Amino acid sequence: MTTKTGIGASVLRKEDARFITGTGAYTDDLSLPGQVYCVFVRSPHARAIIKSIDTTDAESSGGVIAIFTGEDLRSDGIGDLPCGWLVKSKDGSDMLAPSHPAIATTHVNYVGDIYAMVIAETIEEAKNAAELVEADFEVLTPVVDVATATTADQIHENVPNNQCYDWELGDSAAADGAFANAVHVTSLDIVNNRLIPNAIEPRAALGNHDAASGSYTLYTTSQNPHLERLILAAFVNVAPEAKLHVISPDVGGGFGSKIFVYAEETAVIWATAKVGRPIKWRAERIESFQADAHGRDHVTRAELALSGDGEFLGLRVKTIANMGAYLSTFASSVPTYLYGTLLSGQYKTPAIHVEVKSVFTNTAPVDAYRGAGRPEATYVVERLVETAARELGVDPAELRRKNFIQPSDFPYATPVALTYDTGDYEASLERALSLAKYSEFAKRRNESEANGRKRGIGFSCYIEACGLAPSQVALSLGAGVGLFESAEVRVDVTGSVTVMTGTHSHGQGHETTFAQVVSDKLGIPFENVTVVHGDTSKSDYGLGTYGSRSLVVGGSAIATATDKVIAKAKKIAAHMLNSTEEQVSFDDGIFKIPDSNESLSFGEVAFSAYVPGDFPIEELEPGLSEKAFYDPANFTYPAGTHICEVEVDPGTGTTEIVSFVAVDDFGTVINPMIVEGQVHGGITQGIGQAMLEHGVYDADGQLLTGSYMDYTMPRADDVPDFIVDTTVTPCTHNPLGAKGCGEAGAIGATAAVMNAITNALDVKELAMPATAETVWRAITGD
Amino acid sequence: MVDITITVNGTGHSLSVPDNTLLSDLLRENLRLTGTHIGCDTSQCGSCTVELNGRAVKSCTVLAAQANNGSITTIEGLGTPNDLHPVQAAFRDNHALQCGFCTPGMIMTAIEMIKDATEPLSADQIRAGLEGNYCRCTGYQNIVKAVLAAQTQLRSV
Amino acid sequence: MYSFKYHSVSSTEEACTLFESSESAVYLSGGMTLIPTLKQRLDYPTDVIDLGAIDDLQGIDTENGSVRVGSRTCHADVACNPHIQALADLAGGIGDLQVRNCGTIGGSIANNDPAADYPAALLGLGATVHTNNRDIRADEFFLDLFETALHTGEIVTAVSFPTPLRAAYVKFPNPASRYAIVGVFVAEHNTGIRVAVTGAGSCVFRATAIEEVLQRDFRPAVVEGVSVDHSKFNSDIHASQEFRGHLVTEMTKRAVAKIA
């Protein structure tokens, strides 16, 4: 049913009222009585031995309450920050994970690594004291270059060759066989540039300890508060889970970077008990640059084998992935299970083999950033396919069509471990070609040339695996946690509904989308549904929001719990109507029985549930509140086609995106307005990677892009209006038919942009970001 | 310490703050007007934008003392959920926000842009006018749409 | 920020007296560079002297064929004054809307950031910098990286720009900071052509070789043939010396094309 507020309607967002009036409550907006402030003392060196730390002068600085070093945490039993996914190397051995203390004890391993924390009455007093913390460092030569990290100095005692793992997926012999039979081989050397996430709200933490109960409360900028609590309790040993209350209030964007459990909130929540006062910390932007987990950073050699008539025969990919200095919370899974598994793309490539070496360097930890592994995979596949088409002189759309998995092929098992459930890739391609007016491109190119400009067009037919994940699959592949989601649908006495979810909204609009699902299913007004998230004391459990999972997993849990509510309500209605629950039908908020004019509204049944005057209490419990834990049967597979058209000014190398079309298949769409917004934002981050953004370290491991003066963020005048549309093949295995939309833009866009620019310049390879100078050099042949 | 007398959202305040207090800190910490956000250290992100004496400024790059005797409007001074300023309403109606963190600054900048324009702004002019406001969520498209819509309404008044 | 004593002054005399009696004072004009510098603890003055309340440093006057801009005039106000359109265009492209509402011409030129826009206008237009005790020709004002002819404690009070016959400014912005990677101000005066380049080197400079060819033939194409020595240019992650050298030629061509 599509109503003005139901599934499929572009309902305006419930959360906007507080955000547009400045009454949202982000972590740094909160204050607790008697709170003090924390400043972290960070390494200026990329790699050094900590010979000693002298805090004497700092301790006597004005306003100082306490100064702690890594030894203080260690001696108090505080454990290392763990990595939650164990990846095995191809020889069967476990990955090598270095010790990752929240505050460094013996070595600092990247610029920004913390070696002390200062707590003082004011921020300025804490900063004054931080400058007086004297560390005696023995500076060592850092390892910065990812491509040569395995032959550089060994960073961690227990990690020879700086190699975390050497992983593979697919059939090596089959792939080699395909190449032996190939008529044409297209190969590319690809660098997937390091990105720095840059949610506009910097990370923050506000901790409090109640000495009487021994319980802790942590307000923090987390995408997954329950996971934060689990790790702080079970691995870091701050306190038992039941004594640890984690709240993620309004959070100003995450894009992956706020999934992880970081040193800062760990130290803050621990120290709050030590000093007996609430402690607040908010990152300055320079700290976000230095110490938020970065994204991407792969070096890859990729080859595609084709038959004489352009059929894909095999794909070989060798990637070195940068982990940075330590393993962040999910770092190991990103270049493996979220990357290698996606290399089949939308194509029937029969033989695929991928090898990934993950290495440590003296740079900030690298982990999931919007798309996480899937943008890197899409970039490899779609740059190869486009290049192959150019080398063979065939239309890139035609080469793709020829190799697409067809609707009749589903379910389709790829050679890299996934089984796609459904899709229609040609449908989105055709729609995108039409919206992009592809047939008139040659004319537009001629016009550009007449004006002294170079014009190019590029495609990207991406696929992603979303809705992380079937727990059984994830656990068998090394995940440390199940990846289901919980929900509770609590019907109030008067028939309004409160929904508790374990996902977390930090821009996605869950308070609106989930309310649409519930109001639609229950046939009650949208306004009567309130969604609660981000508080470990309110929802049972949850794995949070990332991997485009919230609607497909969290929403499915909500749908399931809502179905349970309906089932229970039918029992009550049956009792009220003197019938049986099998006889009771429920449609659009009304309970009916056959051959009767009698009916009950949802509100009447809800009221009766809480005022059970004559319930047969042996058979029928009072109350109307249900829970569900939903574990998906498979990933979901959103897919689509992005087409980018650019115009290059050869005089300066400046590239302008003149048109960008995205046609995505997200399955069932609950709120098209919100989905479009997600696509716009994702595309902009994808364009950012292709043309603007780059996290750069110099040879000494100093971050050259440590502020907005040097790290190029996409601004309003860097991007055009996007033309977006959807095609729909509903997901076959979840109750909503939804596939997820949060990452698609970032996954698809980058390759489309680079395919367009290389087309305009008529070059095979071009480094990202395609800055003006990079483009100008390609034109001038330097 | 420096004594400051200012009017914020129509209400007069007299207070004494350390000389190095930023206007953004005075608003957020002393007056608890936390709708003005802090997103960077180098005066680029624009989340802290407020109106000072009729002009949009980045309050993280103005000393509180410089605003002495001044008049300030923050996001909290524009409208309430039941009586929104046209730019606030346009942001909601056009889905021009996602996480909401940059939104107060965006709205304050948009208001000045519309107010200053002698002719209706084009989409390109709006994009250029938003140079000092970063958004990581929306891709800007709906923000531009919202400013265009708000402009139409405000210019017709 | 480290702690400091803030002073608001109502005259340049008062400002100078305070400056001299302070251990290490700085003047605060628009604050667009100073305040971020203080926030990052890169400077630690004992005293910050705010010039904002000195009324006679504000405003724009056109007199005898020249434009006199008070040092405390913000970029937004210069951008609205059409008397020298190239100057207005330049001011309208500095920073962003909010920065233009605060940043001032006096603050910008006293700082002499190598990538700032105003130095190109001053040099290109042959402006005169007025201070509280003398006048300094723009040709003698900008000395080197963040270095000017100002004496310690001296205050810029205004800048006078002679009205050119024609002028244009074109810049290639740094994609991140939006400062100039290269900005070129081309102006034709009764006395000849001036071409001032900012962003490329450690300090704004006149491209005399380009001036000479344009003097003979004011067309974009002639610039192409002039070799630009980029060996002392800036180089960073955004642009190499060579690319900056190319951009000097390219931006000059575009500026000339705008007014040829």
CB-nearest to A16 from B44, B92, B140 is B92
d(CA A713, CA A289): 12
CATH number of residue A319's parent domain: 3.30.365.10
Domains of chain C, start order: 5-50 (3.30.43.10), 57-162 (3.30.465.10), 166-259 (3.30.390.50)
Reply yes or no on whether the pLDDT at B7 is more than 50: yes
Same domain, A57 and A101: yes
- How does pLDDT run across A502-547, given as a tens digit for each residue? 999 999 999 999 999 999 999 999 999 999 999 999 999 999 999 8
* CA-closest candidate to residue B101, choices A776, C8, A204: A204
Question: Could you tell me the strand order of the sheet in which C180-189 lies?
Answer: C166-173, C180-189, C192-198, C205-206
Residue of chain A minimizing CA distance to C96: A715
Residue A9 lies in a domain: no
Chain C CB within 8 Å of residue B20 CB = yes
Instruction: Classify A110 as helix, strand or coil.
Output: coil
Q: What is the homologous superfamily of the domain B86-156 according to CATH?
A: [2Fe-2S]-binding domain (1.10.150.120)
Q: How many residues does chain C have?
A: 260
d(CA C151, CA C143): 12
Angle at CA A290, nearest 5°, toward A284 and A292?
Answer: 85
Same domain, A248 and A325: no
pLDDT band at A480 (very low <50, low <70, confident <90, very high): confident
Which one of B3, B25, B58, B116 makes the best mutation probe of the C interface by having the most chain C beta carbons within 10 Å? Answer: B58
Give the minimum alpha-carbon distance from B153 to chain C in angstroms, rounded to a whole number: 22
Beta bridge partners of A50: A137
Read out DSSP for chain C? ----EEEE-SSHHHHHHHHHHSSSEEEESS-TTHHHHHHTTS---SEEEE-TT-GGG--EEEETTEEEEETT-BHHHHHT-TTSHHHHHHHHTSS-HHHHHH-BHHHHHHHT-TT-SHHHHHHHHT-EEEESS-EEEHHHHEEETTEESPPTT--EEEEEEEPPSEEEEEEEE-TTT-SEEEEEEEEEETTEEEEEEESSSSS-EE-HHHHHHHHH---HHHHHTS----TTS---SS--HHHHHHHHHHHHHHHHHHH-
Same domain, A534 and A600: yes
Subunits close to A (at least 3 CB pairs below 8 A):
B, C
The ipTM estimated for the assembled molecules is 0.98
Under 8 Å between Cβ of A36 and A279: yes
Successive 10-residue mean pLDDT values, chain C, 260 residues: 97 98 97 96 97 96 92 97 96 98 98 98 98 98 98 98 98 98 97 98 98 97 94 97 98 97
Which one of C98, C174, C250, C252 makes the best mutation probe of the A interface by having the most chain A beta carbons within 10 Å? Answer: C250
Under 8 Å between Cβ of A757 and A646: yes
- How does pLDDT run across A696-748, given as a tens digit for each residue? 999 999 999 999 999 999 999 999 999 999 999 999 999 999 999 999 999 99
Residue A663 lies in a domain: yes
Same domain, A366 and A415: yes
Size of interface A-B (CB pairs under 8 A): 181
Same domain, A587 and A642: no
Q: Do B28 and A29 touch (CB under 8 A)?
A: yes
Its domain, for residue A715, covers: 298-469+634-780
Q: Give the containing element (helix H, strand E) for A71.
A: helix A70-75
Same domain, A625 and A640: no
CATH number of residue A205's parent domain: 3.90.1170.50
CB-nearest to B42 from A15, A673, A709 is A709
* CA-closest candidate to residue B99, choices A221, A47, A416: A221
Under 8 Å between Cβ of C21 and C49: no
Q: Give the containing element (helix H, strand E) for A298.
A: strand A298-306
Chain B partners within 8 Å of A722 (Cβ)? 139, 141
Same domain, A105 and A233: yes
Residue A170 lies in a domain: no
CB-nearest to C250 from A127, A652, A705 is A652
Q: Do A13 and B93 touch (CB under 8 A)?
A: no
Chain B CB within 8 Å of residue A286 CB = yes
Residue of chain A minimizing CA distance to B35: A22
With 0-12 CB in 10 A as exposed, 13-18 as middle and 19+ as buried, what is C15?
buried
Q: Which of A236, A267, A291 is the last residue of a domain?
A: A291
Give the minimum alpha-carbon distance from B111 to chain C in angstroms, rounded to a whole number: 12
Same domain, A600 and A663: no
d(CA A473, CA A451): 55
- Residue A286 corresponds to which amino acid? I
Residue A441 lies in a domain: yes
CB-nearest to C237 from A127, A651, A696 is A696
Q: Residues of B numbered 92-151 whose beta carbons fall under 8 angstroms of chain C's beta carbons: which are they?
A: 109, 112-113, 129, 131-133
The rounded percent of chain A whose pLDDT value lies above 90 is 96
Q: Do B19 and C5 touch (CB under 8 A)?
A: yes
Residue of chain C minimizing CA distance to B43: C36
Chain C partners within 8 Å of A128 (Cβ)? 2
Same domain, A287 and A345: no
Reply yes or no on whether the pLDDT at A196 is more than 70: yes
Same domain, A534 and A655: no
Q: Which of A268, A291, A314 is the last residue of a domain?
A: A291
Beta bridge partners of A625: A490
Q: What are phi and psi of A780, to 5 degrees?
A: -85, -5
- How does pLDDT run across A107-165, given as a tens digit for each residue? 999 999 999 999 999 999 999 999 999 999 999 999 999 999 999 999 999 999 999 99
Chain C partners within 8 Å of B38 (Cβ)? none
Domain count, chain A: 3
Mean pLDDT of A611-631: 94
Residue A265 lies in a domain: yes
Residue A460 lies in a domain: yes
Reply yes or no on whether the pLDDT at A1 is more than 50: no
Q: Do A773 and C239 touch (CB under 8 A)?
A: yes
Same domain, A342 and A406: yes
Q: Do B68 and C8 touch (CB under 8 A)?
A: yes
Q: Which of A291, A310, A339 is the last residue of a domain?
A: A291
Mean pLDDT of A217-243: 96
Same domain, A641 and A549: no
State residue A129's pLDDT score: 98
For chain A, give the longest Cα–Cα distance. Answer: 87
Q: Residues of C numbered 211-230 whose beta carbons fall under 8 angstroms of chain A's beta carbons: which are they?
A: none
Q: Do C99 and B43 touch (CB under 8 A)?
A: yes
Give the minimum alpha-carbon distance from C232 to chain B in angstroms, rounded to a whole number: 28
Reply yes or no on whether the pLDDT at A57 is more than 70: yes
* CA-closest candidate to residue A246, choices A533, A489, A39, A506: A533
CB-nearest to A19 from B74, B89, B100 is B100
With 0-12 CB in 10 A as exposed, 13-18 as middle and 19+ as buried, what is A60?
exposed
Q: Do A710 and C237 touch (CB under 8 A)?
A: yes
* Residue C163 Cα distances to B36, C28, C63, C116, C187, angstroms: 42, 29, 10, 21, 10
Q: Residues of C numbered 214-243 whose beta carbons fall under 8 angstroms of chain B's beta carbons: which are they?
A: none
Residue A148 lies in a domain: no
Residue of chain C minimizing CA distance to B54: C101
Q: Do B61 and C32 touch (CB under 8 A)?
A: yes
Q: Do B20 and C3 touch (CB under 8 A)?
A: yes
- How does pLDDT run across A373-401, given as a tens digit for each residue? 999 999 999 999 999 999 999 999 999 99
CATH 3.90.1300.10 fits B2-77, yes or no: no
pLDDT band at B11 (very low <50, low <70, confident <90, very high): very high
